[in-house]
Amino acid sequence: MSELPRDGLVAVVKRDCPTCVLTAPVLGELARRAGITVYTQDDPSFPDTVPGPVDDLGLDISHRLAIEIVPTLIRLDAGHEVDRTYGWDRAEWERVAGIAGLGIDLPRSRPGCGAKNVEPGIIERLKIRFNETGLVSRRIAIGNDEDEYEAMYARGWSDGLPLVPPTEERVLRMLDGTSRDPREVLGLVPPDLAPATVEKIAINAVMAGCKPEQLPVVLAAVEAVLEESFAMHGVLATTMFVGPVVVVNGPIRRQIGMNAKGNALGQGNRANGAIGRALQLVIRNIGGGRPQEVDRATLGNPGKWTYCFAEDEEGSSWEPLSVERGIAPGKSAVTVFAGFGLQGVVDRKSRTPESLARSFAESLKTLFNVKSAPPCDAMLVVCPEHHRTFREAGWTKARLYEELYKLCEIPGEELVAGAKGIAEGGSASRIGTMVNKFRPGGLMIVRAGGDAGMFSGIIGGWSSSGPRGSVPITKEVKR
Amino acid sequence: MTVLLDPTSERSPTSRPRLPRPEGLDGLTIGILDIAKSRGDVFLRRLGERLGERGIAVRHYAKPTNTRPAPLPLAQRIATEVDLVIEGLSD
């Protein structure tokens, strides 16, 4: 424990800094001629040119003096700082010390080194020690004899898998990933309608395993699901399978190492996994939405752990989903969709777009039940080998939408209750009409997957798709 | 002890364990914080004298007003200079 003098000269140095070593004789000169208190950041015996350098290995004094560069020379008067200089510059040191002719054997100037107290990992610890984090969330102390991982389970924070403990250091580092104010509220999270502050989202992102540079995508996804027209309360509370599916477009995909290639919808990529998981933890922890409580899902789906992937834009002849939905090319964005599961579309023989589109349409028509139209919105994930067939034939994405919509027209006779020997179905009034499997705009097409394999996929939606329930939302990612 | 930040909307109570107490006062520096309640200074000065008589290092601090939390620079100074703090909470 040490205290600052009220008056006179103070210097902060470290032995590891060549400029500090260079100025050691000058500090000795100042000690003899004016008196000086020298605080040392790394070696209590340095510099040996002054009597009793003060140990600041804990960096308390350095932090309180807001030292960024060593050596720093400061003049105090009645407890207040009145002058300071850093690095070695003879004229500056002479001015601050009020003494001429310092260090005449030394070069005129030499830049200093970064101070230890501002090194990453240390600055966060000092901000916590000195109550400067600005974080307002409740602190929860875990006892020494308590396993912190078990303590997090016991408090109900987990989705079932272990969580990264959200310490103040980790949350501070997470918040470095965004320039947004930690107190900014992005919306009210159902079912409790609790405010989603950037800080609370960052805590959940830490627990989910995100890296700071992934936080902006999590924030955009949270903003998107909290749009009223996404109907997050209903998506959570429904007995159906759905949860938010997150598709990421734009340069941030590659900057944060997302997977749009092989196994894009599977395991093994940290960004894909952690971003989707963070969104679910936000719903669980901030919103209070938990299975068998307000989440009434009958079966749910494995995507409710995490369901996030990037579109494979490179090498595509189609515009990215985000651009199709109004975001400028070159901007990063997320699109959220209330979806579930993955139904494979295996077609190894079609070599014309017409044949492949019919394959897609016939598979799409089985969604929910062949007797159901329209059942829900759907996302079609087209693999590169299938996309190639459309590209080589010059089919735009708009053309494929148009053809699929036409191919999904179904005679009403096939859809009425009892038809095909299935009790499920609509009323007899459908007889003599054509009914489309999808509402206009109810299909989304993205491109993802490995280069080999003629295997595309269909992500089904919610029975309450569309304006009366949930519509997909696209949001630009803000840093 | 690990301190975690609460990821929830904080609608349920939590308990906050106290810091472990020191086994003795030998070798420690004690801060005495006068929060500016009336005659607190008299009581705390005498307490400081009694601790001093036992050879314990004591530093005195005062808040400018009892109506607000201690200013951050004062709190930081105390955290840097002493091992534990005694403060009077009422007059």
- Interface pTM (ipTM) of the complex? 0.87
Total count of domains within chain B: 1
pLDDT digits (tens, 9 = 90+) for A192-222: 999 999 999 999 999 999 999 999 999 999 9
Decide if pLDDT at A123 tops 90: yes
Q: Does position A479 have pLDDT exceeding 70, yes or no?
A: yes
Per the listing, tokens 């840093």 go with: A479
A281 interaction partners in chain B (CB closer than 8 Å): 7
Q: Model confidence at B20, in pLDDT bands (50, 70, 90)?
A: confident
**d(Cα A127, Cα A170) in Å, to the nearest integer?**
12
Tens digit of each residue's pLDDT (9 = 90 or more) over A226-253: 999 999 999 999 999 999 999 999 999 9
DSSP sequence for A466-477: STTSB--EEEEP
Contact status of B22 with chain A (Cβ, < 8 Å): no
Task: Kindly give, in sequence order, each residue whose CB lies less than 8 Å from that of residue A415, ignoring residues fewer than 6 positions away.
Answer: A371, A372, A373, A425, A426, A430, A435
Question: Residue B91: what pLDDT?
Answer: 66
The answer as to whether B23 is a domain residue is no
Tell me the residue ranges of DSSP E strands in A78-144: 80-86, 88-89, 109-110, 113-114, 139-142
Alpha-carbon span A400 to A448, nearest angstrom: 16
Residues of A near B (CB-CB distance < 8 A)? 1-3, 60-61, 64, 129-132, 135, 137-144, 148, 151-152, 157, 165-168, 171, 189, 192, 194-195, 200, 203-204, 207, 281, 285-288
Give the integer Cα–Cα distance in Å for A35 and A10.
9
**B-chain residues near A76 (CB < 8 A):** none
Put simply, the answer to whether B9 touches A286 (Cβ < 8 Å) is yes
CA distances to A218, A263, A331, A332, B20 from A256, rounded to whole Å, are 12, 17, 14, 12, 42
B38 touches chain A (CB under 8 A): no
Q: Searching chain B, which residue's CA lies closest to the CA of residue A198?
A: B7
Alpha carbons within 13 angstroms on the beta-carbon side of residue A144 total 3
**Which tokens sit at A261?**
């290639």
The CA distance from A87 to the nearest CA of chain B, in Å, is: 26
Distance from C-alpha of A401 to C-alpha of A390, rounded to nearest angstrom: 12
- Average pLDDT of the residues in A392-412: 97
Confidence of residue B68 (pLDDT cuts 50, 70, 90): confident
Cβ-Cβ contacts under 8 Å, A151 against chain B: 4
Q: Which residues of B touch A207 (CB under 8 A)?
A: 7
Q: How far is A130 from chain B (nearest CA, A)?
A: 6
What CA–CA distance (Å, rounded) separates A380 from A356?
13
Q: Quick check: B23 pLDDT over 80?
A: yes
Residue A476 has pLDDT above 90, yes or no: yes
Q: Tell me the pLDDT tens digit for each residue of A292-339.
A: 999 999 999 999 999 999 999 998 999 999 999 999 999 999 999 999
User: Could you count the other beta carbons within 10 Å of the beta carbon of residue A52?
Assistant: 9
pLDDT for the residue numbered B16: 61
Name the residue among B4, B7, B72 with its Cβ closest to that of A142: B4
Among B3, B4, B28, pick the best mutation site for testing chain A contact (most A Cβ within 10 A).
B4
> Is the residue at B64 inside a domain?
yes
Say whether pLDDT at A143 is over 90.
no
The distance in angstroms from the start CA to the end CA of chain A is 41
Alpha-carbon distance A477 to A250, whole Å? 9
Q: Which of A1, A60, A135 sits opposite B29 (nearest CB)?
A: A1
Minimal Cβ distance to B4: which of A1, A166, A287: A166
* Token couple for A67: 């030292």
Q: What is the pLDDT of residue A334?
A: 98
Residue B37 lies in a domain: yes
Are B75 and A166 inside 8 Å of each other by CB? Answer: no
Q: Name the average pLDDT for chain A.
A: 96
How far is Cα A115 from Cα A57, in angstroms, rounded to an integer?
A: 12
User: Do residue B2 and residue A200 have CB atoms under 8 angstroms apart?
Assistant: no
Contact (CB, 8 A) for A17 and A71:
yes
CA distances from B47 to A95, A199, B26 (A): 45, 43, 16
Kindly indicate the confidence band of residue B89, based on its pLDDT and cuts at 50, 70 and 90. confident
Measure A271 CA to nearest chain B CA, in Å.
Answer: 20
Burial class (CB within 10 angstroms; exposed 0-12, middle 13-18, buried 19+) of A74: buried
Residue B33 lies in a domain: yes
pLDDT score of B17 more than 80? no
Residue A464 pLDDT exceeds 90: no
Q: Which of B5, B16, B30 to mutate to test the interface with A (most CBs of A within 10 A)?
A: B5
pLDDT in tens, A246-302: 999 999 999 999 999 999 999 999 999 999 999 999 999 999 999 999 999 999 999
Q: Is the pTM of this model over 0.95?
A: no
For residue B6, being part of any structural domain is answered with: no
pLDDT at residue A401, as a whole number: 98
pLDDT band at B13 (very low <50, low <70, confident <90, very high): confident
Q: Token pair for residue A466?
A: 């569309």
pLDDT given at position A36: 97
Q: Find the range with the poorest average confidence among A415-424, A433-442, B36-45.
A: B36-45
Please give the residue of chain B at the shortest CA–CA distance from A284: B8
Q: How far is B59 from chain A (nearest CA, A)?
A: 11
Q: Mind telling me how many Å the CA of A172 is from chain B's nearest CA?
A: 11
* Of A70, A13, A87, nearest in space to A46 by CA: A13
Radius of gyration of chain B (CA): 16
For residue B11, the distance in angstroms to the closest alpha carbon of chain A comes to 10
HSE value, Cβ hemisphere, 13 Å, CA-based, for B42? 4
Q: Which tens digit of pLDDT belongs to each residue from A74-111?
A: 999 999 999 999 999 999 999 999 999 999 999 999 99
pLDDT at B65: 84
Q: Residue B12: closest CA among chain A residues belongs to which residue?
A: A155
What SS3 class is residue A76? strand
Mapped onto helix, strand or coil, the DSSP state of residue A450 is coil
Confidence of residue A144 (pLDDT cuts 50, 70, 90): confident
Residue numbers of the domain that contains B61: 29-87
**CA-nearest residue of chain B to A201?**
B7
- Are B1 and A141 inside 8 Å of each other by CB? yes
Our CA dihedral for B32, B37, B41, B43, rounded to 10 degrees, sits at -90
Q: Do B2 and A60 touch (CB under 8 A)?
A: no
State residue A111 phi and psi, 5-degree precision: -65, 155
Q: Which domains can be identified in chain A, with CATH numbers?
A: 8-129 (3.40.30.10), 150-476 (no CATH)
Cβ neighbors of B72 (< 8 A, separation 6 or more) are A130, A131, A132
Q: Tell me how close the Cα of B80 comes to any Cα of chain A, in angstroms.
A: 6
